[in-house]
Structure 1
Amino acid sequence: MNITEYRTLCAQYPSLRSLFSVMEALHDNIAIVGKDGIILWVSSCFERNYGISRDEVVGRTTYELEAERVFTPSVAALVLKTRRVVTLTETSQSGQLNIVTGVPVYDQNGDISLVVSYTVDPAYSLRLYDEYQNILSAGAPHEEKNPPLPYGGVVYASAAMQEVLEQVRKVADLETGILITGESGVGKNVVARLLHHAGQRSSGPLVEINCAGIPDSLLESELFGYESGSFTGARQRGKPGRIEQAHGGTLFLDEVGEIPLPLQAKLLEVIQEKRFFKLGAHKPTHVDFRLVAATNQDLRALVRKKRFRSDLFFRLSTFPLTIPPLRDRREDISPLLDYFLRKTNDKYGTAKRFSTAALQHLRAYTWPGNVRELQNIVEQCVITADHEEIAAADLPEHVSLGTTPSALLQSDSLDLKTALENCERDIILAAHARYKTTVAVARALGISQPSAARKIARYCRAGNSMQK
């Protein structure tokens, strides 16, 4: 049914008009997009979520708005491409994160006629979650104490991450400096964004800068900006720095330990005085922002080595927030695997799934690259696996080698027979991949050729990935 047909029905049955009134009353934004990508209707709270009025988007295509970065990526475009329900995190042009779900509506011929999407504001969800916690603390009955919850883009099931998010809730509305520490890949940037969108400055910009990704010679101009003619190659009209762009919002300095010592003094002055001088400027620029910093280094050790200013360290770490590595919160592995697998399947229009054996290896792996490594491996497996079921043999070699029998037993309640069979399978498949023939495998493993042939045939059939 399209919008024209719906309006015809509304003329025949006036009570149906109340449906739009109901959608307008919802806190979550609702959008209706046609099969050609044209936006047919959005609720009035669209402007609150995306910073642009409904009159400016209705009648335009979702592809145009995505290209103009009103929101990226477009959930409606992905639904039209994959013909399935899609849930993702959209970023608006102001930097706000929104969790969006798009649902296809099919006509009688099985073709998509409409896409209906609804947007969840993480800050609003946070307030609802707080109210829910208050109800629980008052003694309301509940079935599950710590269910895996996607909280503002954070997927978790562990008590360790729940404690981190409880700390985020405590300081989200405060202006105090936050220093997020943790190994590379644990999700420091996700927590920084959550702090911004759950705080009082959520309507302002969130400006992120990776201090390790910019050469020292360019970092000062990138942070502080410059006036016209400040140096050779400078723009004629000058350039505002990231600090100035963060006025009224949040400045997130990732890998803050990489800032050179000379710049640290200038950064300290900005934090304390809320003003700074651009390169080549004679008058100060006044700014108002909240600072969130992150590092995977030991800043105290850098202070002792005279590579980081102690006064800046204490200004940054008013409230330290440490994210534990994934190996110390193994309860999060399964929900993260489910989340990234669903997200990757939606991205590529696939329906891949992990076999039981593959899941055992993934849950037992130590994940030195943390959540980022897990996400990359899931996407790699979805792309490279030849069958819908991703077998253990489809996993990267270092994942299989990084899971010991003891780790497999710890990750799943396996009996001895199953554990021994898993080990035998891994050895047989690895030997076959290396030596290629049954004769060579038999010689390498010290078994008969018929026995090697039977085992290779058995495990290759089970893995659906290798030929005899």
Structure 2
Amino acid sequence: MLHEHAELLLRLIIQHTFDEIFITDHLGNVRAVSPSCSDLYGIEAKEILEQNVFALEEAGVLRPSVTALVLKSRDRETLVQQTRTGRTVVVSAFPIFAEDGQLLGTLSFSRDITELEQLKKRNDQVAKTILLFQKEIAELKSKNVQGLYLSNGKMKKVLDLVSKVADLDVTLLLTGESGVGKNRLAHMIHEISERREEPFIEVNCGAIPESLIESELFGYEEGSFTGAKKGGRMGYFESAGHGTLFLDEIAELPLNLQVKFLSVLQNQTVTRVGGNARIRLHCRIICATNQNLEQLVKERRFREDLYYRINVIKIAIPPLRERREEIVSLIYQLTEEFNAKYKMNKQFAPSFVAWMSQQEWPGNVRELRNFIEKAMITSNDLLIELNQELIEEKHVMQEGEAIGFDRYMEAVEKEFITRMYHKYPSSVMLAKQLGISQSTANRKINKYVKNRLVKND
């Protein structure tokens, strides 16, 4: 009876174990094997019974056979196998001896570590990315990829986080007030990632009519609705390929499509309207909103499960009023951008820069950008002076705590002299360009650029 119970227990262990169990006699003939053999080695358990491990090794089923090694060495053996089904398994085999030392057979355990190996490779890739991001960011800065963003103040923390997550395949959520530059930051993330050569597709979820947004995002099959294009059409998820899909104003996505979007994120597949086939998703998804999603969740206007799914990494972009120290540099950067765009060579007078620096910009970078662009286009002068018409155009003067004009003028002068010195790198050239004496130019270079005594050129 005890013997029968032992056999029953052995069969149950072999039947239900998570590991693949393999038992042979002293000649290598298979006496027992667990059902998982099929998944790991591509052969049914009943087909492998009574076969010889040396023959299985020669046939390529076991490559190599750990049991065969044990039969030869009569000692414990452990190695990692790559099976013909594409799985990675670690196998440990042991000799079974009788009390008199006679070899009775072998017992081996195989554990599937495919996912662990993939995770290890992923972690190695992440580690490599983090080590290289500083060099990559430096290279991109030289190409002016960062656009309007500065590497100081509050934006430095944002850029540091962007650098760390750019190459990670996680969904990002960009938040911030309207006009802070969420779309520009999404472009930057794409440009400094390994997907930079792939498409970048930007979709404003609030700008597409509700009746069309499903077919625009997910695509459709031929005949799925009246007017459907012959042959169907890819949606934005498919069109993004291995690139980046940027979904702006994600809070405007209708509730019924939020469910479908959640399924896309969870399964990494998309199904076209009117179709059944699941299409594998390869793009990276970045979402953005200027609304309070937590409040929308409470009001049941945004799905809680979708919120947590897209909020894996949240990057909050501060409004311009919280990084006023960057406004002067933003003005000069925007000026250079529009000069290049419209093939002009215009500059703002220091007093005009100081005035803009003291204004409130509730529309953030977008409002500042639009104001500067219009001022440059409408002005007939190379040096744009502050005038009443432009003041009236702005309509909003600084409110709240007053900041000294002298302090702003000094900041403007420092920025202006630094930039001009980079273009005209000597006191003689700078003095001639600005219409000032060489000694004055020397003094300003010493004060703002080199911060030390500069010899006459």
Q: TM-score, normalised on structure 2?
A: 0.56
Query: Are positions 1:391 and 2:385 aligned together?
Result: yes
1:356 corresponding residue in structure 2: 350
- Find the residue that maps to 2:245 and give its secondary structure: strand
- In the alignment, the residues of structure 2 paired with residue 326 and residue 406 of structure 1 have an alpha-carbon distance, to the nearest angstrom, of 16
Secondary structure at 1:156 match in 2: coil
The reply on whether 1:238 has 2:238 as its aligned counterpart is no
Compared CA separation, residues 406 and 286, structure 1 to 2 (3 A): closer
CA separation in 1, counterparts of 2:143 and 2:154?
A: 13
User: How many equivalent pairs are there?
Assistant: 279
2:183 matches 1:189: yes
Deviation at 1:158, TM superposition (A): 3.3
Give deviations 1:194-246, integer Å, cap 9, x for gaps. Answer: 22222233333222211111111110000000001111111112110001112
Aligned equivalent of 1:412: 407
Whether contact under 8 Å (1:148, 1:335) holds in the other structure is no
Q: Deviations over 1:74-114 (max 9, x none)?
A: xxxxxxxxxxxxxxxxxxxxxxxxxxxxxxxxxxxxxxxxx
Kindly state the Cα deviation for residue 162 of structure 1 after the two structures are TM-superposed. Answer: 0.8
Letter of the aligned partner of 2:323 in structure 1? Answer: R
Alpha carbons 2:148, 2:333 under 8 Å: kept? no
Distance 1:251 1:404 in 2: 39
User: Which residue of 175, 178, 199 maps to 2:172?
Assistant: 178
Residue 204 of structure 2 corresponds to 210
Distance 1:273 1:411, change over 3 A: farther
Contact 1:181 1:294 in 2 (8 A): yes
Kindly indicate whether the alpha-carbon contact (under 8 Å) linking 2:167 and 2:194 is maintained by their aligned counterparts in 1. yes
Partner AA of 1:369 in structure 2: G
Choose 1 or 2 for highest CA Rg.
2
Kindly, what percent of the aligned residue pairs are identical?
40
Query: SS at the partner of 2:174?
Result: strand
Match of 1:304 among 287, 298, 306: 298
Q: Distance in 1 between matches of 2:254 and 2:279?
A: 22
Are 1:126 and 1:152, in contact at CA under 8 Å, matched by a contact in 2?
no
For residues 355 and 127 of structure 1, the distance between their equivalents in structure 2, rounded to whole angstroms, comes to: 36
Change (3 A) 1:294 1:364: same
Distance 1:204 1:148 in 2: 21
Counterpart pick for 2:287 among 293, 315, 324: 293
Aligned residue for 2:149, secondary structure, equals: strand
Q: How far apart, in 1, do the equivalents of 2:131 and 2:391 lie?
A: 40
- Residue 154 of structure 1 and its aligned partner are, at CA, apart by 3.9
Contact 1:158 1:330 in 2 (8 A): no
**Secondary structure in structure 2 of the residue aligned to 1:251:** strand
1:369 to 363, 368, 371: 363
In structure 1, what is the equivalent of residue 154 of structure 2? 160
Structure 1 CA distance for aligned equivalents of residues 328 and 183 of structure 2: 21
Residue 151 of structure 2 contacts residue 159 of structure 2 at CA under 8 Å; is this kept in 1? Answer: no
d(CA) in 1 for partners of 2:326, 2:341? 22
Q: In structure 2, list runs of 5 or more residues that go unmatched.
A: 1-129, 411-457
Structure 2 SS opposite 1:226: coil
Quickly say closer, same or farther: Cα 1:228–1:131, change in 2 above 3 A.
Answer: closer
Shift of 1:347: 2.7
Structure 1 residue 357 displacement after superposition: 2.4
Whole-angstrom distance in 2 between the partners of 1:373 and 1:233 = 40
Corresponding position of 2:324: 330
String of CA shifts for 1:273-331, please: whole Å, max 9, x gaps: 01122111122222222211111111111101100000000000011100001111112
Deviates more, 1:285-294 or 1:347-356: 347-356
Paired with 1:267 and 1:203, the residues of 2 have a C-alpha distance of 25
Q: Report the secondary structure of 1:320's partner residue.
A: strand
Cα 1:350–1:200, aligned 2, differ >3 Å: closer, same or farther?
A: closer
Corresponding residue number in structure 1 for 2:135: 128
User: Could you say what the CA RMSD is over the residues aligned between the two structures, in angstroms?
Assistant: 2.8
Q: How far is 1:180 from its partner?
A: 0.4
| Structure 2 counterpart of 1:201, one-letter code | R
Indicate if the aligned counterparts of 1:158 and 1:331 stay in contact, CA closer than 8 A. Answer: no
